[in-house]
Structure 1
Amino acid sequence: MPRQGRGTLLTGVRPFPLTALRHPTVATLLDDHRALLGDLLDGLGSPLHVVLPEVFEENIARLRQAFAETGADVDILFAKKANKAGCFVSSAAALGAGIDAASSAELVKALAGGVPGHRIGVSGPEKDDALHALAVRHDCLVAVDSISELHRLAATARFAHRRVRVLLRARAGSQPGSRFGMAAAERDAAVGLCVEFADDVNFQGFSFHLNGYSPEERATAANEMIEHCLGARRRGALSADLVDIGGGLPMRYVEPRLWDEFLQQNEPAHYHGTKADKGFSCYPYGGQTPAQAARTLMNHPVDGDESLSAKAARHGIRFLAEPGRSLLDQAGFTMYRVQQVDDRRGTDGYAIVTVAGNSLSLSEPWFNTDFLPDPLLISAQPSADELFPACVAGSTCLENDMVTWRKIGFPRPVRPGDHLVYLNTAGYHMDFLESRFHDAPLPMKAVLRLGDDGALPRWRLDRI
């Protein structure tokens, strides 16, 4: 058996660091207010989600500036599905941003949070009549996915003696097999129906669904929608001047160089069990920032040398964007308390750290992969530096309840009572798959804002 040296696994594999980027507000909380964070975790339970609306507000301002620099006319709707916290809805309302809702519950919470109906977009395939009725009553913008849905929505508007604002969701040319949106023949028929139903339907333009995070592919799809708007105008739909580009703006969790190095060396031996193989698919954690992606998208040439934003301006086309994850960049983190440590370094070469809570409270929705950035270890008692390889398990009775399958190289031994902090988890990771398995309560969300002049941060429970 190979000798186990300082910082070396028995298997010969050294954990690869994926150090998470840290917003200044997050750094201040972790450096100067650890005692408060520890008290919140002890008092509110493990795991605990900490959400930071002031960072979310910065992200809205930064994305607006990036779009404006390209000359594009873009309104922002926060895709609420990315996080259920009510504080983000309130922040969006205060800044005049909108909400993208895909259910009656999301729409009601957006209205309750202060977002007026005319700033709410309603998306999702084949929405039910209850959601249609709410959207019509509150003057929301409804993205229609099929001719059958268009008929139902028009009937709802007619019954309510109102005119509903409508986008037609068209299928992008790059993803013809998508289950979302209308292919060419159905799209053309839907435009004709919008003209026919003009007393009930205020047709405003097109939207599309696109998998992936390529700004260039999204620009190409948006250009297709501009052409559809121009075609609809020729058929009498003179108000067709709006293109909804959806979300899909990537965000950066780790430095790009570090991410590229990780992809080059990633292999199954870096994981507990057989979780991953080389070449597995995962979120692009080291990609562009949202602002960079916005500029790339709007500056992308679509007709010769003309940019997407320039073509849109020339034809009087406005845009909607529906970012979710990217508006939550650095706007929250998740804390776990260490419950037990099974030190298997003498046999397996790494330990298994069990935390109070489960993996469903920290889920990566991208093809069932790990949330990959390294957690931060906050030790209850100081100890000497020593590389401590470990993966992180949840405390349920499921073999697959692993918070982190990847072996992390902690800088010192992990002990019961320590805290693990997963940074940048507000975008989908907190509540995408949360569960009351074992009758466990859902994790709480603590809303924090930094105080002025060194005062303690203000905190409250989120009102969801």
Structure 2
Amino acid sequence: MHHFAYRRGVSQANVLHAEQVDLCALAAEVGTPFYCYSTATFERHLDVFADAFAARPGTLVCYSIKANSNLGVLATLARRGAGMDVVSEGEIRRALAVGVPGERIAFSGVGKTKDEMAFALDAGIFAFNVESEPELRALSQVASAMGKTARIAFRVNPDVDAGTHHKISTGKAENKFGIAFELAPSLYRQATQLPGIVPSGIHMHIGSQITDLTPFRNAFALLKELVETLRSSGLRIEFVNLGGGLGIPYRSDEPAPPLPADYARLVNEAMGDLNVRLLFEPGRMIAGNAGILVSRVLYVKTAPEKTFTIVDAAMNDLIRPTLYEAYHQILPVIEPGPDTESRFTDVVGPVCETGDYLALARPLPALNAGDLIAVMTAGAYGAVQASQYNSRLLVPEVLVSGEQYCVTRPRPSYESMLAAERVPDWFQG
């Protein structure tokens, strides 16, 4: 569910609104392209997920910052009690900046540096999700040198195929993430012998945009087996981090993915008698449908083979269609009438790449130069992956709450873009 819908606008036409904000009016104020996020949608998604586990006291929902790291978004979730899943020092700093206490932060990622480890230890984070033996030894060195103790969970790779796009699969043996399932017992034994390390949990995350519960069921069965094996050898396993990955609907013509309540029933079946604290890392499920990208049509170009709708948003603003062959629904911001002609078109941007597109061969109501479109379900992995390719300015991000809105990341100027770089001194004068 999201809070973007057509309603009577300032112009008296039916206009797509973000909560109670007219997107035509917002575009006139902010300029296009821009990302727009709905506070009510973020709050609802977090609440629905957390409520599904309300019967399990101590459950910690750590929003995955990499999905959308906008400070306005993080502040919204922090004030609802969310923890944060981070993969860099920068993300830790973002979490702390919006008031998330260290004990609600879990640190993931395969390439943590020693400086990042030290910063995380100083911040008093809940746990490190360790992904290799070399990382374990580095963390031990850092923690013992600082006189601190690092609570850890090994990220275990169960070699389970989640059936998703190969670029977002994380739980198969050939993926870079985690340690092999069969190596886990020996690595946990090593961890107990290292200074500054307290092995307390197990972490597992098998991929993203998973729309079938079967891979979760298979992975959780293996995880339960491992918990029992480790406990039988004398280890105290106090928490289990089950990761994220629950899919969301990008298309209206496909079956809806499982609801958080369905997922919770599966988790309780798999973990019910283990007496462990549960952690989760939802990202896309919280952020995906809470954001859109608004763009303006520049030109409509008719070629012998096809029609191109050229808009002012591009692959550097939203790379998912190019990178993942991802589908995003596209809606005209002004609702078309029932008799509006539809035509197949490629929706493309100004970047000098053939791969610069938002949609291919998409049947859309006839669009003209100046019209606004909304690229839906763009709240996750949209702005966070944006770049300045072709020296294009990063687009602003706007957070809406009821009738209010805030430009939480303004559009930079060309002057500020150039000022971030320097010409070598030997060219001066």
- Normalised to the residue count of structure 1, the TM-score between the two structures is 0.77
The one of 294, 297, 311 equivalent to 2:266 is: 297
Check the 8 A contact 1:334/1:430 in 2, yes or no. no
Counterparts in 2 of 1:183-332, with a 5 A limit?
A: 183-184=180-181, 186-197=183-194, 200-211=196-207, 213=210, 214-238=212-236, 240-255=237-252, 258-259=253-254, 286-295=255-264, 297-298=266-267, 307-310=269-272, 314-332=273-291
The offset of 1:35, in angstroms, is: 8.1
Alignment of 1:351 onto 2:310: no
Distance 2:316 2:256 in 1: 25
Q: CA offsets per residue over residues 234-253 of structure 1, 9 Å max, x none? A: 33322x12111111101123
Q: CA offsets per residue over residues 72-129 of structure 1, 9 Å max, x none? A: 8632110110112112211222122111100111111111111111101100113111
Please tell me the residue identity of whatever aligns with 1:151: R
Name the counterpart of 2:414. Answer: none
Distance 1:331 1:376 in 2: 15
Check the 8 A contact 2:32/2:294 in 1, yes or no. yes
Distance 1:23 1:96 in 2: 21
* Secondary structure class of the residue paired with 2:316: helix
The one of 367, 387, 391 equivalent to 1:435 is: 387
* Secondary structure class of the residue paired with 1:60: helix
Counterparts in 2 of 1:34-183, with a 5 A limit?
A: 36-68=22-54, 74-140=59-125, 141-174=127-160, 175-183=172-180
Q: How many residues get paired? A: 389
Alignment of 1:395 onto 2:350: yes
The change in CA–CA distance for 1:157 and 1:438 in structure 2 (over 3 A counts) is same
Distance 1:127 1:32 in 2: 41
Please tell me the residue identity of whatever aligns with 2:224: I
Q: CA offsets per residue over residues 381-424 of structure 1, 9 Å max, x none? A: 999622233221101222221121132231xx311110011122
Name the counterpart of 1:419. Answer: 372
* Secondary structure class of the residue paired with 2:346: strand
Gaps of 5+ in 2: 10-14, 161-171, 411-429
Q: Which is bigger in relative contact order (C-alpha 8 A, separation at least 6)? A: 1
Check the 8 A contact 2:4/2:17 in 1, yes or no. no
The offset of 1:367, in angstroms, is: 5.9
Deviates more, 1:23-32 or 1:57-66: 23-32
C-alpha RMSD of the superposition: 2.7
The change in CA–CA distance for 1:202 and 1:109 in structure 2 (over 3 A counts) is same
Please tell me the residue identity of whatever aligns with 2:327: F
The change in CA–CA distance for 1:192 and 1:362 in structure 2 (over 3 A counts) is same
The change in CA–CA distance for 1:226 and 1:392 in structure 2 (over 3 A counts) is same
Distance 1:221 1:163 in 2: 29
Distance 1:427 1:380 in 2: 25
* Secondary structure class of the residue paired with 1:438: helix
Distance 1:420 1:365 in 2: 16
Q: CA offsets per residue over residues 29-51 of structure 1, 9 Å max, x none? A: 84567984223323433211001
Distance 1:206 1:52 in 2: 34
Please tell me the residue identity of whatever aligns with 1:74: T
Check the 8 A contact 2:345/2:360 in 1, yes or no. no
Deviates more, 1:390-399 or 1:226-235: 226-235
Identity of aligned residues (%): 22
Alignment of 1:335 onto 2:304: no
Distance 1:165 1:417 in 2: 55
Name the counterpart of 2:165. Answer: none
The change in CA–CA distance for 1:353 and 1:156 in structure 2 (over 3 A counts) is same
Deviates more, 1:24-33 or 1:48-57: 24-33
- Normalised to the residue count of structure 2, the TM-score between the two structures is 0.83
Check the 8 A contact 2:292/2:379 in 1, yes or no. yes
